[in-house]
């Protein structure tokens, strides 16, 4: 019977190549960020679809001197939504491939969601022209708090998790 020492004889492994100790595979708490990625793709896509279908609205805003100032925030908001879709989709692919970059993509995803939510919330409070009701403003604040809490929990998780270190090694 072959021992572990005999198997490893002649094959030096660098510390990076050695499997990390701890839980491995996609499971445990890692399931929650995966659900967040899928939900973000679905709901961001649902929110962006009407905007992308009606590209003329950007032209209407640009041509109307009263609302022209809204063009830049609208474009930034749309670009942020598209970036969230792209980042979440890329992260899911890297998750499936178990690539090391998954960890970086997830940290970037949580930062981007936080920044985008803060941007949208600041617009709603800064400009009454958006016509948001008090209930809408309260919902925006709840979303901002959720984004802050998610970033505060999941960014450190991806930085220190033994499961993440052991699973995403390629």
pLDDT digits (tens, 9 = 90+) for 31-58: 999 999 999 999 999 989 988 888 778 7
Closest to 77 (Cα-Cα) out of 115, 107, 131? 115
Structural contact between residues 85 and 44, judged by C-beta atoms closer than 8 angstroms: yes
- Per-residue model confidence as pLDDT tens digits over 75-88: 898 999 999 999 99
Residue identified by tokens 């041509």 is 63
Report whether 79 contacts 73 (CB < 8 A): no
Cα separation, 160 vs 162, in Å, equals: 6
Task: Identify the residue with better confidence: 99 or 25.
Answer: 99
CA atoms within 13 A on the CB side of 2: 5
């Amino acid at each position: 019977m072959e021992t572990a020492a005999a198997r490893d004889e002649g094959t030096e492994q660098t510390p990076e190549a050695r499997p990390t100790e701890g839980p491995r595979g996609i499971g445990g708490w890692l399931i929650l960020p995966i659900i967040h990625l899928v939900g973000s793709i679905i709901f961001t896509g649902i929110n962006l679809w009407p905007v992308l279908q009606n590209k003329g609205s950007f032209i209407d805003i640009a041509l109307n001197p009263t609302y022209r100032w809204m063009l830049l925030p609208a474009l930034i908001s749309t670009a942020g939504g598209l970036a969230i879709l792209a980042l979440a989709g890329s992260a899911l692919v890297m998750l499936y491939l178990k690539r090391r970059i998954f960890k970086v993509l997830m940290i970037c995803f949580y930062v981007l969601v936080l920044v985008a939510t803060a941007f949208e919330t600041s617009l709603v409070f800064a400009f009454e022209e958006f016509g948001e009701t008090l209930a809408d403003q309260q919902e925006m604040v709840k979303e901002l708090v959720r984004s802050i809490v998610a970033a505060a929990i999941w960014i450190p998780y991806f930085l220190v998790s033994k499961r993440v270190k052991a699973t995403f090694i390629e």
